[in-house]
Amino acid sequence: MSSPYPPLVPTPRVLMGPGPSPVAPSVLGALAMPTIGHLDPQFLEVMDQTRDMLRQVLETKNALTFPMSGTGSSGMETVLVNLIEPGDRVLVGVNGVFGTRMAEVSKRAGAEVTVVAGEWGRALDAEAFTRAASGKKFQLLCAVHAETSTGVLQPLDPLREVADGLGALLLVDTVTSLGGVPVRADERRIDALYSGTQKCLSCPPGLSPVSLSEAAEKSLAKRERPVQSWYLDLSLIRNYWGADRAYHHTAPINMIYGLHEALRLVLEERLEPRFARHEKNTRALWGGLEAMGLELIVPKAERLVPLTTVRIPDGVDDAAVRRFLLDELSLEIGGGLGPMKGKAWRIGLMGHGSTRQNVTLCLSGLSAALAAQGRTSRVGDALAAVAAVYD
C-alpha cells in the first residue's frame, strides 16, 4: 500500500532573516553521510576533530569545549544550570529577548537574579552593571554578545572588568556572533559561553557549542548539589567527549557530521578574511538601505554585522512586505520581536549567505515590495551605494 503523503520537497528559500542561515552544499552532503554508531572508532575521530576545530573558531584552549545536543537554547540552559546553585547571585544584562531568557532560566535554576535593564537597540553600559550590583558579590555576570532580537553587538571587555570586581564568572551568549564577528574567548577571558550552529556557522539548527574556562570548571567541581538537569550535566557529558568515552546519551551523529564540515569551511576560509567578508557585505547593505531612505535602528558603533534591524516606515504594512518577498522572490527576512514587533525588519547576512548577490537581491526586493504599497522606488540609488562599497 502506498503512502497517502507525497515525498517531502520544500521550496528553496533565500534565508536572510535572523536564522537559520543558508547552508553550504557540502554541509548538506555531510548530513547525508552514512549513520554509524556513536561509539564507532570512526565517529570518535570525528568528535575529536570537531572539538579541535571548534576551539580554533572560538580561539580558546578550554578543555571543556564541545557541541551540546539541541539548539542554542539548550546551550543557554546548559551553562546556566551547571554554574548556578540555588541562592547564587546572578547579574543579567537585558536589552532584548535573549537577555530576558537568560534571566528567566537563571531564576528557574534558583538564582537570586538582578537584572540590568537597557534600551532595546542599544548596547548596555558597563557602569550600569556596577550600579546594579550595589557592592555585592555575584556568581555570574551574564550578557548577550550579539542580541539577535535587536541587532546590537555588546562590548565585552568592560564587562570582564566589572565581573572581576564582583568576583563573578563572565557568561556570554555568542549564538549570532560565532563565525561572523570575533569572539576570542581566551583573549577576552570569557568563562562560559554558548552558541548555535544555525547562524554564522551555516549549519542547520540542532547543536549548541559550549565552552567553559578553567575557572568555570573549578566552579562546577565545587558544586554542593547535583546539576538539576541530568541530560545537560556537563560533569557527565564530558566523560563521553573525553578519553573515557563513557556513554551518556546517543549523540546526534549526522548533525555532528554537518558541524564538522561547517567548521572545516570556516577554517578553510580563515577567521579574519571571514570576518572581513561579513563586514564588507553588511556595509554594502547598510549603504543601500540608507540610500533608499530607510532608517537603521542601532547606532553604527553598536551594530551587529551579521544582523541588521531596519525601522519600518510609517504606513507600511510589515506583513505584506515580507509576504511579497517570500512569494515573489522566495526571500525570507525577519520581523521584529517584543517592543519591536511590527516596527522593525531583521535582515541577516550570515555565513554562507553573506554574499554580494544576496545584498543586491534583498535591496531590489525591498524596493519592489515598497513600490507595491505606493512608495517611490529608489533601487537605483541603493545599487549605486552598494557599488560604491565594493568598487
Mean pLDDT, the chain, integer:
97
Looking at the structure, tell me whether residues 275 and 262 fall in a common domain.
Answer: no
CATH code, domain carrying 218: 3.40.640.10
Residue 17 covered by a domain: no
Domain that holds residue 331: 271-390
Residue 4 lies in a domain: no
Residues 360 and 375 in one domain: yes
Mean pLDDT of 8-30: 97
pLDDT at 368 over 90: yes
211 plus 291 within the same structural domain: no
Q: Which band of pLDDT confidence, cut at 50, 70 and 90, is reported for residue 184?
A: very high
pLDDT tens digits, residue range 210-269?
Answer: 999 999 999 999 999 999 999 999 999 999 998 888 989 999 999 999 999 999 999 999
Given 268, 288, 322, the domain boundary residue is 268
In the DSSP assignment, the letter for residue 139 is S
SS3 of residue 72 by DSSP:
helix
pLDDT of residue 329: 97
Q: Is residue 142 a contact partner of residue 92, using CB atoms and an 8 Å limit?
A: yes
* Residue after which a domain boundary falls, among 268, 291, 318: 268
- Asked whether the bond before 20 is cis by omega within 30 degrees of 0, the reply is yes
Where residue 293 falls (left for φ over 0; alpha for ψ -120 to 50; beta otherwise) is left
Which residue has cell 570512526?
42
Q: How many domains does the chain have?
A: 2
Residues 264 and 289 reside in one and the same domain: no
Per-residue pLDDT tens for 191-220?
999 999 999 999 999 999 999 999 999 999
Are 226 and 293 in a shared domain?
Answer: no
Alpha-carbon gap, residue 71 to 267, rounded angstroms:
22
Looking at the fold, whether 335 and 227 belong to one and the same domain comes out as no
> Are residues 230 and 246 both part of a single domain?
yes
Separation of alpha carbons 248 and 239, rounded Å:
8
Together in a domain, 286 and 242: no
| pTM recorded for the entire structure | 0.96
Are 81 and 198 within one domain? yes
Q: Which residues contact 351 (CB under 8 A, 6 or more apart)?
A: 21, 22, 179, 180, 199, 200, 201, 202, 262
Could you give the CA distance from residue 379 to residue 284 in angstroms, rounded to a whole number?
13
Q: What is the dihedral of CA 52, 54, 55, 60, to 10 degrees?
A: 180
Please write the tens of the pLDDT for every residue from 275-298: 999 999 999 999 999 999 999 999
Task: Specify whether 64 is located in the same domain as 204.
Answer: yes
* Domain shared by 309 and 194, yes or no: no
- Altogether, the residues listed in the chain come to a count of 391
CB 159 within 8 A of CB 170: yes
